[in-house]
């Protein structure tokens, strides 16, 4: 059986793109890693419990890796750790109060749209995240980005999440 060169090229491109991270974000944003950064739990809009908390932990790690010296994650209190997702009006109010009590330069928040293993034989991990960075004390949005990725069958969900979040944050922190 003979395979044409254009068909072979198209198939190769499809295989390469299947593992790519798709990112759309603000352009030309460079924020200082010298400042103090706060990380809030990301709002979980998935069926996966604690996806927002998992993503926030990865955000914290990625910030450190890219040279941010001081990162403080929102403290879990009132036994919220297991089920806390940060979506209720009361929890948002508590987070806003906490942000105002901190002396920080930036706050990172966002939404997890997808955090799961796809159904089927291979069960590929799939992640979709929106990250937003606000400059304090004004609360002005200085960066907003959305990224998604579907991994390979042998990859872990957290590995794919790290790749998406890293792609979103790495061009921003200088």
Residue 69 belongs to domain with CATH number: 3.40.50.10610
Least confident piece of the model among 18-32, 61-75, 104-118, 159-173:
18-32
Mean pLDDT of 44-54: 91
Indicate whether 95 belongs to any domain.
yes
Tally of domains within the chain: 1
Q: What is the mean pLDDT of the chain?
A: 84
pLDDT (tens digit per residue) in 83-94: 555 667 888 899
Please tell me what DSSP assigns to residue 108.
E
Residue 31 CB coordination number (10 Å): 18
Q: Is the pTM of this model over 0.95?
A: no
- 79: CB partners within 8 A, 6+ apart: none
Is 71 domain-assigned? yes
Give the pLDDT of residue 89: 81
Give a yes or no: residue 174 inside a domain.
no
Q: Residue 90: what pLDDT?
A: 84
pLDDT greater than 50 at residue 15: no
Confidence of residue 8 (pLDDT cuts 50, 70, 90): very low
Where does the chain show beta strands of DSSP type E? 22-25, 36-39, 43-44, 70-73, 106-117, 125-135, 140-150
3-state SS assignment for residue 76: coil
150 has which bridge partners?
126
What is the extent of the structural domain holding 54?
24-169
Per DSSP, 171 falls in state T
Secondary structure of residue 19 in the 3-state scheme: coil
Say what the pLDDT of residue 29 is: 87
44 lies in a domain? yes
At 153 the pLDDT is: 80
Range 35-46 average pLDDT: 94
DSSP character at residue 67: T
47 domain residue, yes or no: yes
Establish if 117 belongs to a structural domain: yes
Read off the pLDDT of residues 99-109 as tens digits, 9 standing for 90 and up. 999 999 999 99
Structural domain contains residue 5: no
Domain membership of residue 78 (yes or no) is yes
Q: Between 1 and 23, where is the model more confident? A: 23
């Amino acid at each position: 059986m003979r395979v044409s060169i254009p068909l072979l090229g198209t198939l190769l491109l499809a295989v390469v793109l299947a593992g790519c991270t798709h990112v759309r974000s603000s352009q030309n944003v460079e924020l200082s890693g010298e400042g103090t950064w706060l990380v809030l739990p990301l709002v979980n809009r998935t069926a996966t419990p604690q996806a927002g908390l998992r993503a926030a932990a990865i955000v914290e790690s990625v910030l450190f890796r890219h040279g941010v010296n001081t990162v403080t994650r929102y403290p879990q209190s009132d036994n919220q750790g297991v089920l806390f997702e940060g979506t209720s009006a009361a929890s948002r109010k508590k987070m806003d109060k906490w942000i105002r009590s901190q002396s920080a330069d930036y706050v990172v928040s966002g939404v997890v749209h997808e955090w799961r293993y796809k159904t089927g034989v291979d069960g590929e991990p799939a992640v979709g995240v929106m990250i937003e960075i606000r400059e304090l004390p004004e609360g002005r949005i200085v960066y907003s980005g959305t990224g998604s990725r579907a991994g390979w069958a042998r990859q872990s969900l957290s590995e794919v999440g790290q790749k998406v979040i890293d792609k979103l944050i790495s061009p921003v922190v200088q």
